[in-house]
Amino acid sequence: MFAAEFIVQRILEGKGTLKNILEAEPKEMSSLREVLQYVVQGLSRCKPRLLERRWPELEQALRDAGVVSAADWEECLRICPDVEQLAKPAALSKLKEDKTWRVETGRDVALVAAMLPYAQPDLLEVKIKPDDLSKRRWAELVQRRDGRVRLELQNPADDKYKSNEDLLLPMLGTRFAWLSLRGSRLRAEELPSLLLQLHGAGVRTGGGGSTRTVVYGEGDVYLYIRDDMHPGGPAVPSDAELQAAYHRYQRLRGQ
C-alpha cells in the first residue's frame, strides 16, 4: 500500500511526529485505519526497535482511527500476528469483553497464541480440525496457556483416519477440563498407548477415578487422564463400542 510505505519512509527519515506526518484532521482519522495497520506491519519488518520507540503515538493514532474494541484490535493483530505491541491491547480488550476464548480456525490459534502472554481467560475452548492447525502455532499456544483448556479435535471432512499424536503430545504438563475425540477412528488396541503417552507427558484432565477412556451418547470418545493408573493398564472400550460410537457420530452429523 503506497500510503503506508510513504508514512513508514517518513518515520524512518525522522520527519517529525506521526501527527505531523499524517496531517489529518480528527474526523479524517477513520479513513487512515487500514493504512496505519500496514504502517505497523512495515515498521515491524524493517525496524522493530523503531516501532517500539514510536508505538505510543502509533497506538494513539490507531485509537483515533477507531481501533477500540477487542474485535478492532484482533483485526489489526491478524494483519500483524507477530507484533507484540498489538497483542497486548488486543488481549486486554478481549479479556474485558469475554472470559472464555474460543479457537475454531488456524488463524484463531495464531491470534490467541499471540495474546496469551498478556492475558489469560478463565477458559480456553478449542474446537478445531487437526488439518487446520499449524504445529508451530499450536505448540506456542499450549506453552503459553496457564489455565483450563477444553479441547475437541474433529475429523477432517474426508474422514480419513489420523492419530494426531503430534498435536496431543505438545501438551506437556497441561490440565484439561476434559479431552474428547469426536468421530474418532481409533481402535481399542491403540487407546492404551495414547493414554500412557499423554499420562507420561504430564497431561491431566478433570473427572474422578483412574486413567481410562469412556464413550458417551453422541459418539464422543473421552480421555480421562488422572494421576491414578490401574495396575493392568487403562480401561478402554471394545472395538464394537468404538465402532457404534462412530456410527452415532456419523448419524448425528448427517442430521
Nearby residues of 250 by Cβ (< 8 Å), 6 or more positions away: 183, 219
- pLDDT beyond 90 at 153: no
Whether the pLDDT of residue 168 is over 70: the answer is no
pLDDT in tens, 243-253: 998 888 888 87
Beta bridge partners of 212: 224, 235
Q: Using CA atoms, how far apart are residues 86 and 103, in angstroms rounded to an integer? A: 19
Does residue 209 register a pLDDT over 70? Answer: yes
pLDDT given for residue 66 in this prediction? 95
Mean of per-residue pLDDT scores for the chain? 87
Stretch 209-235: mean pLDDT: 90
- Greatest mean pLDDT among 54-58, 129-133, 145-149: 54-58
CB burial string 51-77: b at 16+ within 10 A, e below: beebbeebbebbebbebeebebbbbbb
| Contacts of residue 48, Cβ cutoff 8 Å, sequence gap at least 6 | none
Q: How far apart are the two ends of the chain, measured CA to CA in Å?
A: 46
Report the pLDDT averaged over residues 180-204.
87
- Residue 167's pLDDT band, with cuts at 50, 70 and 90, is low
Q: Cβ(222)–Cβ(198) under 8 Å? A: no
Task: Provide the percentage of residues in the chain whose pLDDT is more than 70.
Answer: 91
CA 138 to chain centre: 7
What average pLDDT does this structure show over 62-84? 92
pLDDT of 23 above 80: yes
Q: Is the pLDDT of residue 72 over 70?
A: yes
**What pLDDT does 60 receive?**
95
pLDDT for the residue 203: 85
Scan for cell 474422514, then name that residue: 159
